Structure 1
Amino acid sequence: MAKKTEVTVEEKLRTLYDLQLIDSRIDEIRNVRGELPLEVEDLEDEVEGLKTRLEKLNGSLEDINTDIANKKNLIEEAKALIKKYSEQQKNVRNNREFNSLSKEIEYQELEIQLAEKHIKEFKVQIEQKKEVIAQTKEKLGERETHLKHKKNELNDILAETEKEEQALIGKSSEYEGLIEDRLLKAYKRIRGSVKNGLAVVPIERGASGGSFFTIPPQVQMEIASRKKIIIDEHSGRILVDPALADEEKEKMQELFDSF
């Protein structure tokens, strides 16, 4: 469309309301997508966290098994020493040597007892670790399944809406080009300051759209005359009459259906 040099207030209102309908449709599409991208991102982070935890748990399990192997080697070495000292006792020359070897044997027996105690403790730790590993694997499996489901859901929504969204963004830009800078800035400022992004609203049951404040009949008549742009004093939104709104909604719906 070629940019108009002179347009009536009514034309300005129609173009503004058309732009509002286009931008609201873009908002709807993005709302349908909603929190899904963030949900997917959070699930991806959680899955990675669980994988890291699983790696650490498995690494810890390997360390404990190494500790058990070391203790078993220590037991074998102690048994070998006990056997060696017992053989030496047979050939001692006096009680002092015998007692000295007896103390060595006793020390190695204590070493065996301590090592066996540690092995039992390690085995308890292993069972505990295995239980945590099993729980973590189960949770990881659940989260991966959930992530796959959410990714598919997001991809389906993107596939359905991406083409329409891009077409609407193009139309929004096109309609912005038809609106004078001062009015466009006002529209964007209002749109950015209200929760639902509605900067241009029709009168509904004697009040501005989305507001409970009644508009005086005289002001309603001015709005219906379409001779000047009127701002709602309570909500700060630009007001249009219901008939104009219905006409533009019907026109824009045809545009939306064509995407």
Structure 2
Amino acid sequence: MAKKNDVTVEEKLRSLYDLQLVDSRIDEIRNVRGELPLEVEDLEDEVAGLNRRLEKLDADIEVIDNDIKNKKNQIEESKSTIKKYSEQQKNVRNNREFNALSKEIEFQELEIELSEKHINEYKAKIEQKKEVIAQTKEKLSEREEHLKHKKSELDEILKETEKEEQALIDKSKEYEKNIEDRLISAYKRIRSNVKNGLAVVPVERGASGGSFFTIPPQVIMEIAGRKKIITDEHSGRILVDEELAKEEQEKMAGMFKKF
């Protein structure tokens, strides 16, 4: 095998265009999947977020339940204290002591009222959170079903295209190894800067493929001569002549059928 720098310009152009055809075929396969992988990922994130929300709501209810238990314990303590003070009132020696105990009993009764008010507020909060839990569970069920459908859709497409895509990726890497680094860098740079990923295009009807800008006849002749690598002055794309492009397209179409 000839070294990268020993090959002719024509061989370099053919290799670059072959690489472009392989990478374009990979792009086509990925376009078939479209936004599905991102949709699945978004749905997975949403489902995980809803599950975290349910966990937090359950934890919140547990905290409120503990608050209710504490308030109930405080009520029992206040009742016990009232009973104790009521018993003490039977044995007081004067009105001052009786009144002091009455104030303590009154205070404990207010504490009971306040605790009962808090318990009612806590119970209302629990009911609100249970409503949110029910709504969240309903939404979670709907999103999980949607995720299941989208995953099934994606798995079906992957099953059909995964083998071909991997074979093409391997072939793309193989072609890259036969092209000098500076050309690969230029190719990748151009590919990343154009919407359709076409870095190498044929001349079609006097213009670069996919472009409306006319190429001067002298330049078209130079491109057909295959003696140097020529780029489109408007898009920066590497240009190949129509005949070379057709030859490589036929060759690569035969290879694609084998995948």
* TM-score, normalization by structure 2: 0.83
Give the AA of the match of 1:139: K
Moved more, 247-256 or 178-187: 178-187
Match of 1:43 in 2: 43
The alpha carbon displacement at 1:256 in A equals: 1.0
- Matches for 1:29-178 after TM superposition, within 5 Å: 29-178=29-178
The alpha carbon displacement at 1:201 in A equals: 0.5
Residue 50 of structure 2 aligns to a residue in which SS? helix
Q: Does the 8 Å contact 1:3/1:177 carry over to 2?
A: no
Cα displacement string for residues 45-81 of structure 1 (whole angstroms, at most 9, x for unaligned residues): 3333332232222111112112212222222332333
- For the residues of structure 2 that align with 1:27 and 1:4, how far apart are their CA atoms? 29
1:251 aligns with 2:251: yes
- For the residues of structure 2 that align with 1:79 and 1:69, how far apart are their CA atoms? 15
Match of 1:18 in 2: 18
Cα displacement string for residues 122-145 of structure 1 (whole angstroms, at most 9, x for unaligned residues): 112112221222233233333333
Question: Does the C-alpha gap of structure 1 residues 126 and 22 become closer, same or farther in structure 2, counting only changes over 3 Å?
Answer: same
Question: Does the C-alpha gap of structure 1 residues 87 and 245 become closer, same or farther in structure 2, counting only changes over 3 Å?
Answer: same
- For the residues of structure 2 that align with 1:7 and 1:212, how far apart are their CA atoms? 32
Question: Does the C-alpha gap of structure 1 residues 218 and 98 become closer, same or farther in structure 2, counting only changes over 3 Å?
Answer: same
Give the AA of the match of 1:187: Y
The alpha carbon displacement at 1:28 in A equals: 2.1
1:208 aligns with 2:205: no
Cα displacement string for residues 103-152 of structure 1 (whole angstroms, at most 9, x for unaligned residues): 22212211111111111111121122212222332333333333333333
Residue 203 of structure 1 aligns to a residue in which SS? strand
Aligned-residue Cα RMSD (Å) equals: 2.8
Question: Does the C-alpha gap of structure 1 residues 172 and 85 become closer, same or farther in structure 2, counting only changes over 3 Å?
Answer: closer
Residue 210 of structure 1 aligns to a residue in which SS? coil
Q: Structure 1 vs Structure 2: percent identity of aligned residues?
A: 78
Give the AA of the match of 1:159: K
Match of 1:194 in 2: 194
- For the residues of structure 2 that align with 1:84 and 1:168, how far apart are their CA atoms? 88
Give the AA of the match of 2:46: E
- For the residues of structure 1 that align with 2:252 and 2:208, how far apart are their CA atoms? 21
Residue 140 of structure 2 aligns to a residue in which SS? helix
Residue 239 of structure 2 aligns to a residue in which SS? strand
Structure 2 unaligned spans of 5+: none
Q: Does the 8 Å contact 1:203/1:239 carry over to 2?
A: yes
- For the residues of structure 1 that align with 2:83 and 2:179, how far apart are their CA atoms? 101
